[in-house]
Structure 1
Amino acid sequence: MTTATPTEQLFRLPDLGEGLTDAEIVEWKVAVGDTVTIDQVVVEVETAKAAVEVPVPYAGTVLRLHADAGTALGVGEPLITVGAAAPVAEPAVVDTAAERYREEEQAGSGNVLIGYGTGHEPAPRRRRRRAAATPETPAPAPVAEPHAPRVISPLVRRLARDHGIDLTALAPTGPAGVVLRRDVERALAESVPETTPDASPDASPDASPGISSDISSGGPVRIPLRGVRKAVADKLSRSRAEIPDATTWVDVDATGLLQAKKALEAAEPGRRVGLLALLARICVAGLRRHPELNSAVDTGRREILRYDEVHLGFAAQTDRGLVVPVVRDAHRLTTVQLAAELARLTELARTGSLPPDRLTGGTFTLNNYGVFGVDGSTPIINHPEAALLGVGRIVDKPWVVDGELTVRKVTQLSLSFDHRVCDGGTAGGFLRFVADCVERPAILLADV
């Protein structure tokens, strides 16, 4: 271990818990030359599970920032050096504005009506989890590279840097003269010659921040697998490799479910009960009848683990990527309580402040891909669970009722299941029960 000096103390990226081994720097809260106090938050990092604010365990003057915004660091790597006196050093990449403007990319979240309703409002600034600071002894490290002193998001800055865009030359369109992603994208579009016939369509400004590509060369866009995207990729790859899945589906008349939703909201003024909550209630009832699907497989011991509790996961699309918050003990909640918990977890997911324990431990997942305007899918099971129910958009379709052709609200349900835990008869029985409850919600009264 390097011996500490009275004027220089090195703080390394601490262990963030939950088995996480690395994190990406999102935003520095301090600059070289700033004075910091013990436990002051100096940087925000993003892990595969959450955004985390990291405090420093020293007081003094910032001597060095050892990594740029957008850099991935492993636990134990140098993060910041603090000294007792003001140093002479190059400035590092920092963002000193009190507020950051998030990317304008917005997508559906878990508590929006399943393919039936409007879009989404921009997500608010996310609340963050704080990491525990652990002192470390110093080690020399290079000073971070300086950047243009513009008040913009680090993600926008990185997008501009990767494509050689001069931020000082842009006309900002954000509030208070802030440069937004669309400003960089417009500059990118204007920089591509219209006469380049072989330019790759993948090298467009719609690519995620952190890409690496030469637009004029027509080469492939290289997007690092980091954070949530990396976690999703690892989990889905493992699911495909380990689970022998099958998918079955059915079209259902959801008119009765929509009528039940309206009746509940009329009976409980001020309480919103979305379709996702009703579908969650139906899934819980279905798992009680078919517990084989509320399971997992221990491949090492060659055993099926069948759970008594229903910890219901639901897919939520956020600006950080797809996450699956988990409603603990969903079988113990009323429909109104389920609606409130789904809304609460969705808001935490959209603001990047979900506790890590709310992203693990699910026993069954509900996926509302209908919010993206699609009718059906063959969803990948959320490993290590044994089944996942997908719901398509609700649209007007011709339907036969009592021998007469009429127009009804129709959706498609898809069930992907692990063929090791049950056969098609069990999976079909569960899906048929769910479909019957969607068409005639009063069936649920039988289990009350």
Structure 2
Amino acid sequence: MTTAPERRVFALPDLGEGLTEAEVVEWRVGVGSTVEIDQVVVEVETVKAAVEVPVPYAGAVLELHAEVGAVVAVGAPLISVAGGGAGTEPAVGERGDAQSPGGSGRVLVGYGTDHAPAGRRRRGRGGAVPSGAADGAGPAALPLVISPLVRSLAREHGVDVARLSPSGPHGVVLRRDVEQAMSRNTAAREAMSREAVAQEAPPGTVPAPTEPASDDMRRIPLRGRLRTAAEKLSRSGAVPSATTWVDVDATGLLQTREALRSTEPGRDISLLALLARICAVGLGRFPELNSTVDEEQDEIVRFSHVHLGFAAQTGTGLVVPVTRDAQRLTTAELSAELARLTAQARSGALHPRSLTGGTFTLNNYGVFGVDGSTPLLNHPEAAMLGVGRITDKPWVVDGQLAVRKVTQLSLTFDHRVCDGGTAGGFLRYVADRVERPTLLLADL
């Protein structure tokens, strides 16, 4: 008697701290496809990043439980697979975190495994690369779309990316390629509309000017990363926060950076790393700001570790990677870690776990050419230090007017965790060590 293969339902796994849902961006398989253990079957997008999700079962795909564009909650059914027989399915539940002789045993909760089976080509966030095209055989290579936002924009406006001429490196379709196609489509529709009006008008009449096309207004659905970001910012906006700021002479800090670079050629100590070091030490003296408010328990939670987040601009927007245990790292180690996380963020290779768990954020908005800001807190953190651009300004030094490198520091904080005196004390601590970095030696 033949036993029917067991139906295995794989649910959307845990995606990390605070992430409760994800949007389905692209299915890599269809009903009837045969999948291997740990094969990537779907790409989903959260507020943090795009994530490739592998399935912990082998067998035939019976059902896809969500369409492209649907928002799926963590723990909700994602895909059903008919598996059975020795070595074809791992003893992994819907959490996907147990080991089994039939599986790789390295399924990470929410993010799959750290390897891909031999013979199967993984694709980056840009798009799929057919194996034949990659080897120079079979169909021509398809254009790559590096950003889920670009794919979403193309879908919303009916643009076929396969027909576009990619302007990005290595055949990558960029946002401007889609927008240009949208403009061409709009122009074509307007031309057709004018032609239709002219054909319907009586002979000898002059057609009246047409109304502006409705395409001058574009609606962008709040879903996926945008919706999660909006919800998080709404929570941040409800926090009773305040901002205080001070102008500081950063000449000494810049000189210190150059001295470190000249002393050890090849070791690049960034300005951000020096500021991170000052913040990490300062939070040890003002722990009220390295905390969060647990509203459910009606408690303030203070952390002994400093998981320092920093704002990094990428092609798909601003993200906040987290440097864990920044208080334990040397300045050189901080610089290397900040550079590593920034490179991963800009290449789209940043693991979602690197975007969660921060206890304090350093926001260098000076890179945008602005002097000051009053940002929303990075919920659920209680404080954020902002750094404006560094410019030459007149400054009084020892009673004499001089041109110095001046920047503005701002501290936004949750007023529930401390009062203005504590916030001002921390900001003054940071400002003093920006102006006189040698003071930091006394605190290490």
Same fold, TM-score > 0.5, yes or no: yes
User: Kindly tell me: are residues 254 and 99 of structure 1, through their superposed partners in 2, closer, same or farther at Cα, counting changes over 3 Å?
Assistant: same
Q: 2:311 aligns with which of 315, 326, 331?
A: 315
Per the TM alignment, residue 259 of structure 1 is displaced from its structure 2 partner at its CA by: 0.8
Residue range with higher mean Cα deviation, 427-436 or 15-24: 15-24
1:429-448 equivalences in 2 (<5 Å): 429-448=425-444
Which residue, 276, 280, 293 being the options, matches 1:297?
A: 293
With over 3 angstroms needed to count, the CA separation of the structure-2 counterparts of 1:166 and 1:324, relative to structure 1, is closer
Q: 2:13 aligns with which of 6, 12, 15?
A: 15
Residue 406 (structure 1) shift: 2.8
Structure 1 equivalent of residue 221 of structure 2: 224
CA deviations on 1:358-396 (whole Å, 9 max, x unpaired) are: 433333221111111211001222233322110011122
Deviation at 1:398, TM superposition (A): 2.4
* Counterpart AA for 2:159: I
The 8 Å contact of residues 292 and 421 in structure 1, kept in 2 or not, is answered as yes
Shift of 1:36: 3.0
Alignment of 1:129-278 (within 5 A): 150-153=142-145, 155-167=149-161, 169-174=163-168, 179-193=173-187, 216-218=213-215, 220-241=217-238, 243-278=239-274
Contact persistence 1:253–1:409 (CA under 8 A): yes
* Alignment partner, residue 139 of structure 1: none
Alpha-carbon distance between aligned partners in 2 of 1:58 and 1:301, rounded to the nearest angstrom? 40
Alpha-carbon offset, residue 63 of structure 1: 6.7
Match of 1:284 among 280, 300, 307: 280
Report the CA distance between 1:292 and its aligned residue.
2.6
Superimposed CA distance per residue, residues 300-329 of structure 1 (whole angstroms, 9 cap, x where no aligned partner): 454433333322222223344433232222
Secondary structure of 1:420 counterpart = coil
Q: Distance in 1 between matches of 2:159 and 2:408?
A: 45
Distance 1:316 1:193 in 2: 37
Contact 2:186–2:215 (CA<8 Å) still a contact in 1?
A: no
**Is the CA contact 2:144–2:171 (under 8 Å) kept in the aligned structure 1?**
no
State how far apart, in whole Å, the 1-side matches of 2:63 and 2:294 are. 47
For the pair 1:362 / 2:361, whether they are aligned, the reply is no
Note the alpha carbon deviations across 1:414-438, whole angstroms, 9 max, x for none. Answer: 0112223332222222212211111
The alignment yields a C-alpha RMSD, in angstroms, of 3.6
Matched position secondary structure for 1:192: helix
- The structural deviation recorded for 1:442 is 1.0
Shift of 1:412: 0.7
Kept after mapping to 2: 8 A contact 1:46/1:227: yes
Q: Pick the structure with more helix per residue.
A: 2
Question: Aligned in 2, Cα 1:286/1:17: closer, same or farther, shift over 3 Å?
Answer: closer
Deviates more, 1:18-27 or 1:172-181: 172-181
Unaligned runs of 5+ residues in structure 2 are 85-119, 130-140, 191-211
8 Å Cα contact 1:64-1:82 kept in structure 2: no
Contact 2:61 2:79 in 1 (8 A): no
Q: Which residue is equivalent to 2:132?
A: none
Residues 143 and 161 of structure 2 are in contact (CA less than 8 Å); yes or no, is this contact kept in structure 1? no
1:76 counterpart residue number: 76
Give, as a single letter, the amino acid of the residue that structure 1 aligns with 2:76: G
2:324 is aligned with 1:328: yes
> Which one-letter code corresponds to 1:248 in the other structure?
T
**Residue 397 (structure 1) shift:** 2.1
Aligned residues: 371
Q: Are 2:422 and 1:426 equivalent residues in the alignment?
A: yes
Identity of aligned residues (%): 64
**In structure 2, what is the Cα distance between the partners aligned to 1:304 and 1:256?**
36
Choose from 410, 430, 440 the match for 2:406: 410
In 2, Cα distance between equivalents of 1:166 and 1:235: 33
In terms of mean alpha carbon deviation, does 438-447 or 215-224 score higher?
Answer: 215-224
Structure with higher Rg: it is 2
Seen in structure 2, the aligned counterparts of structure 1 residues 348 and 228 have a Cα distance that, compared at 3 Å, is farther
Higher relative contact order (CA 8 A, sep 6+): 1
**Aligned to 2:158, what secondary structure does the other structure show?**
coil
Indicate how the Cα distance of structure 1 residues 327 and 83 shifts in structure 2: closer, same or farther if over 3 A, else same: closer
Task: Tell me which amino acid in the other structure corresponds to 2:228.
Answer: A
Alpha-carbon contact 1:61-1:82 (below 8 Å) kept:
yes
Out of 154-163 and 372-381, give the one that drifted further. 154-163
Residues 252 and 437, structure 2, Cα contact 8 Å, conserved in 1? yes
- Aligned residue type for 1:294: N
The answer to whether the 8 Å contact 1:228/1:320 transfers is no
Shift of 1:35: 4.2
Partner residue of 2:390? 394
Post-superposition offset of 1:58? 4.5
- CA distance in structure 2 between the partners assigned to 1:58 and 1:264 by the alignment: 53
TM-score, normalised by the number of residues in structure 1? 0.71
Q: Which runs of 5+ in 1 are unaligned?
A: 85-95, 104-124, 126-148, 197-214
In the superposition, the TM-score normalised over structure 2's length comes to 0.71
Contact 1:13 / 1:73 at 8 angstroms: preserved in 2?
no
Moved more, 175-184 or 377-386: 175-184
State the secondary structure of the residue aligned to 1:381: coil
Name the aligned partner's letter for residue 330 of structure 2. Answer: T
Separation in 1, partners of 2:406, 2:44: 44
How far apart are the structure 2 equivalents of 1:53 and 1:363? 27
